[in-house]
Amino acid sequence: MTINRRDLALSTLAVSALALSTPALAASADEEAVAKQVEAFRLAQIAADPKALGALCWDDLSYSHSSGKVEDKATFITNATDGKSKFLSIAYQDPTIKVVGPAAIVRFHWVAEQEMAADGKKVPTNLHILMNWQKQGDEWKLLSRAATKL
């Protein structure tokens, strides 16, 4: 049996294509799972739901605001649900999700409006957000978040 270069090249190409397509399918399932968690997080922020926010975050959360203030999980949840302001809207525009092993890098354009409880003043925010999610068992949880003013 003789194998010529053309047959060898075609078989190598077929094996390479198969090897590349299998991780892509797994990444797609993980990307969908992360996307669901990101949306659940957005809804929990709007609702100011401490239980939902707590379930979506790692205990070692590092949550950084565009002001440079960094909060741990407990402080973030307390401040996000203290009633001093409420979100009228939050949109995560143009999201991208890249899964790398047990980590996911999520980026999006944040456009939101808050109403301050003290004076009823409406405050718009326009940010770029970077989130890092990490897989814990079968669940994805937020490990860190950073915001930059646009």
Instruction: Give phi and psi for 130, each to the nearest 5.
Output: -120, 120
In this prediction the pTM is 0.81
Average pLDDT over residues 99-110: 97
pLDDT value, residue 28? 83
**How sure is the predictor about 2, in pLDDT bands with cuts at 50, 70 and 90?**
low
Of the candidates 149, 150, 133, 130, the one whose C-alpha atom is nearest the C-alpha of residue 141 is 133
Contact indicator for 108, 92 with CB cutoff of 8 Å:
yes
79 Cβ contact list (under 8 Å, min separation 6) = 71
Domains of the chain: 29-149 (3.10.450.50)
Which pLDDT score is estimated for 16? 40
CB 61 within 8 A of CB 146: no
Residue 19 has pLDDT above 70, yes or no: no
**pLDDT tens-place string over residues 31-89:** 999 999 999 999 999 999 999 999 999 999 999 999 999 999 999 999 999 999 999 99
